């Protein structure tokens, strides 16, 4: 009997664990170590953040689902990896610290034959003075929509602003809270949902809404922008993003690194080196992401974290990490199998793997401050990678170490993305986008790096319907209801 341990039960880890258990059956064990008792469909947190959904709409308890699937669920956070075992044993193991199941604070060693790191991002609020509370959490000047609880709080604060806006001008600032943030898409959705709700609440005229982002052009989204066919042209996402911002009366500031957050005020530095301040009454600034801070130790209990993790805390996999200038970047630098090069029984999936380089062109201010989006790894690639890694591990368990590993490169995979611009059955809108491949391949598709036949986008009510259907479909799938395997990632 082999044991697969999956660290992290989010989009990627949950996909990996549930497929692995289905394929391995009862002959082998699948253990999930994840600190939350609830699964969260993160994309719909945006609607919680404007009061259009409740926390219960976007979360469900994990324990019954894992019980049904026959998965051993430990409500705990992984702390360290020991891939060589310890002095008196060669069996690799991880250490975990319980956060629930009545064992809060207790630690345990969990041995594994195969290990998946799917721990997602650490929301690194403290990277920006004042954005965090100095203890790893969010500070009290701004709000976040990254977790369901954050989004609930964001909506409470937003409603206060809407109330005030009935009689006085209010300023809303949404975007990224650091020069090296990713996840611009989430902030984009939030700003347009706020705009939509403000109109519905009749307070739009008293609300100044402003975007701030580290993108060097509006519509970069951390993937270097994209082009879509419109009329007889291949039009850039810059055109579409600017169009929407102007249409909805949202001002933008780009190429910005937020260097400090204070009560009602941020300080920023721009790509041209100038600095400035911006005031706000309500701000949602996405924090930068880092790895969750797992440690690694060798057989002699010596720290070897830097051997298997990149400096940003993400797990090294089969990518080409050789530093090279932007002009030499290739789609083939990106990992295919997500296997750790040092320990072949360790894999990473979702946000937890270390990308070889940015997707957007690196930029910095004359003062040397890097101001560029880092690569996003959205839901679809996170799910597909999780499934491919699970497939590989199942084959290794069943067919031995020579088994063929499954591939899911972001340089050869597309992504479908639906960005909400306001919720409503008949008046909602969303930008429905596909991009192929996610990492531009300038060798295959010179100039724009993408296949125009598979890269498209449009905004409308149909996109909103799709977003809403996807919400129910993915929660249905994550609950492992009948036919769940038929729903694609």
* Residue ranges binding ligand FAD (CB under 6 A): 7-13, 33-36, 42-43, 45-46, 77-78, 118-120, 145-146, 183, 185-186, 292, 350-352, 377-380, 382, 417
C-alpha angle 189/193/196, rounded to 5°?
145
128: Cβ contacts below 8 Å, ≥ 6 apart: 177, 178, 258, 259, 260, 261, 285, 287, 288
For residue 32, the partner it binds in ligand FAD, other proteins, none, with Cβ less than 5 to 8 A by kind, is: none
Instruction: Give min distance, CB of 97 to ligand FAD, in A.
Output: 9
For residue 396, the partner it binds in other proteins, ligand FAD, none, with Cβ less than 5 to 8 A by kind, is: none
Count Cβ atoms below 10 Å from residue 299 Cβ, excluding itself.
Answer: 16
Binding mask 375-394 for other proteins (x = CB under 8 A): -----x---x----------
Instruction: Give min distance, CB of 217 to ligand FAD, in A.
Output: 21
| CB-count burial class (<10 Å; 0-12, 13-18, 19+) for 140 | exposed
Instruction: Give min distance, CB of 488 to other proteins, in A.
Output: 5
461 binds other proteins (CB under 8 A): yes
Among candidates 348, 344, 385, which has minimal Cα distance to 117? Answer: 348
Rounded Cα distance, 204 and 1, in Å:
61
For residue 186, the partner it binds in other proteins, ligand FAD, none, with Cβ less than 5 to 8 A by kind, is: ligand FAD
Task: Give, as one character, the DSSP assignment of residue 51.
Answer: T
Rg, Å, the chain Cα set:
22
* Region class of 238: left (phi > 0), else alpha (psi between -120 and 50), else beta: alpha
For residue 243, the partner it binds in ligand FAD, other proteins, none, with Cβ less than 5 to 8 A by kind, is: other proteins
For residue 297, the partner it binds in other proteins, ligand FAD, none, with Cβ less than 5 to 8 A by kind, is: none
Instruction: Give min distance, CB of 28 to ligand FAD, in A.
Output: 21
Instruction: Give min distance, CB of 15 to other proteins, in A.
Output: 12
Nearer to other proteins (CB atom), residue 343 or residue 445: 445
181, 374 contact by CB (below 8 A): yes
199 binds other proteins (CB under 8 A): no
DSSP 370-419: B--PPPP--HHHHHHHHHHHHHHHHHHHHH-TTPPPP---TTS--EEEEE
Q: How, if at all, do strands 430-435 and 415-420 pair?
A: antiparallel
459 binds other proteins (CB under 8 A): yes
72: Cβ contacts below 8 Å, ≥ 6 apart: 29, 30, 31, 32, 66
426 binds other proteins (CB under 8 A): yes
297 binds other proteins (CB under 8 A): no
Task: Give contact residues for other proteins (rule: CB under 8 A).
Answer: 239, 242-243, 245-249, 251-252, 380, 384, 413-416, 426-427, 429, 432, 434, 436, 454, 456, 458-463, 465-466, 488-489
């Amino acid at each position: 009997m082999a044991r697969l341990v999956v660290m992290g039960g989010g989009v990627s880890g949950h996909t990996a664990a549930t497929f692995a258990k289905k394929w391995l059956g009862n002959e082998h064990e699948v253990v999930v170590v994840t600190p939350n008792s609830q699964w969260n469909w993160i994309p719909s947190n945006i609607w919680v953040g404007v009061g259009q959904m409740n926390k219960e709409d976007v979360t469900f308890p994990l324990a019954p689902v894992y019980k049904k699937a026959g998965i051993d669920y430990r409500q705990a956070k992984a702390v360290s990896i020991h891939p060589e075992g310890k002095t008196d044993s060669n069996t690799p193991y991880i250490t975990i610290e319980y956060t629930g199941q009545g064992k809060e604070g207790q630690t345990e060693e969990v041995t594994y034959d195969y290990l998946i790191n799917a721990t997602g991002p650490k929301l690194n609020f403290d990277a920006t003075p004042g954005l965090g509370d100095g203890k790893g959490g969010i500070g009290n000047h701004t709000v976040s929509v990254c977790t369901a609880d954050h989004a609930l709080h964001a909506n409470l604060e937003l409603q206060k602003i809407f109330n005030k806006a009935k009689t006085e001008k209010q300023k809303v600032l949404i975007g990224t809270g650091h020069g090296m943030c990713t996840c611009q898409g989430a902030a984009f959705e939030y700003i347009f949902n706020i705009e939509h709700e403000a109109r519905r609440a009749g307070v739009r005229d008293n609300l100044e809404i402003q975007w701030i982002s580290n993108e060097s052009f509006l519509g970069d989204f951390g993937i270097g922008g994209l082009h879509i066919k419109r009329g007889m042209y291949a039009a850039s996402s810059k055109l579409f993003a600017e169009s929407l911002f102007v249409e909805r009366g949202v001002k933008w500031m780009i190429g910005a690194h937020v260097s400090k957050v204070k009560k009602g005020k941020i300080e920023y530095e721009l790509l041209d080196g100038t600095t400035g301040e911006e005031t706000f009454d309500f701000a949602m600034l996405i924090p930068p992401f880092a790895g969750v801070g797992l440690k690694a130790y060798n057989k002699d209990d010596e720290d070897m974290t830097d051997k298997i993790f990149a400096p940003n805390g993400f797990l090294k996999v089969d990518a080409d990490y050789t530093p090279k200038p932007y002009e030499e970047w290739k789609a083939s630098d990106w990992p295919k199998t997500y296997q750790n090069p040092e320990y072949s029984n360790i894999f990473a999936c979702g946000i937890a793997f270390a990308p070889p380089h940015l997707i957007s062109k690196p930029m910095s201010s004359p003062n040397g401050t890097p101001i560029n989006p880092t690569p996003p790894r959205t839901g679809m690639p996170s799910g597909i990678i999780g499934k491919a890694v699970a497939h590989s591990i199942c084959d290794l368990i069943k067919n031995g170490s020579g088994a063929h590993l499954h591939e899911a490169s972001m340089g050869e995979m597309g992504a479908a993305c639906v960005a909400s611009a306001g919720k409503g059955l008949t008046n909602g809108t969303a930008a429905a986008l596909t991009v192929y491949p996610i990492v531009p391949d300038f060798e295959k598709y010179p100039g724009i790096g993408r296949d125009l036949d598979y890269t498209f986008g449009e905004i409308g009510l149909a996109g909103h319907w799709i977003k809403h259907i996807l919400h129910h479909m993915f929660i249905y799938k994550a609950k492992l209801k009948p036919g769940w395997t038929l729903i694609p990632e």
